Amino acid sequence: MIGIGFLGFVTLLMMGFLGSFTIHVLLRYRALAGPEGFLSAWIVGWFGAWLGSPLLGHWGTHVGAVYILPALLGAFGAPFLAVSGFRALGRTLQTPRPEMGVSQTGSEPRVEMRKAS
């Protein structure tokens, strides 16, 4: 699968485009807005389509060395997982953690009195 031909490359490019267009434009599920978000989703979609056949199996119809159904699943799944991961990372880094002793305002430490049991 590493040495794919031109037809396989274009097939993966179209599948990555289809997956990223669906996720970024139609579903509006995105980590970055604008063309850079779509381009990054397209690149991740291409890699997902490229890894689809080796990871999900060789079944269904194929064009060259690219099996269509596993590649489509990878082209839709990889951008979705990448956006989900970036969103989760952004929320984790953005929200303050009360268990670390920081108040909601972030200026003074918070002290809690607990009853010993």
Name the phi and psi angles at 102, rounded to 5. -105, 130
Q: Is 40 left (phi over 0), alpha (psi -120 to 50) or beta?
A: alpha
Domain extent listing, the chain: 6-96
Res 18 pLDDT > 70:
yes
Q: How many CB atoms lie within 10 A of CB 1?
A: 13
Res 46 pLDDT > 70:
yes
pTM of the predicted model as reported, rounded to 2 decimal places: 0.71
Q: What is the pLDDT of residue 15?
A: 93
Residue range 39-55: mean pLDDT, rounded: 91
How far CA 97 is from CA of 60, 68, 76, in Å, comes to 48, 45, 33
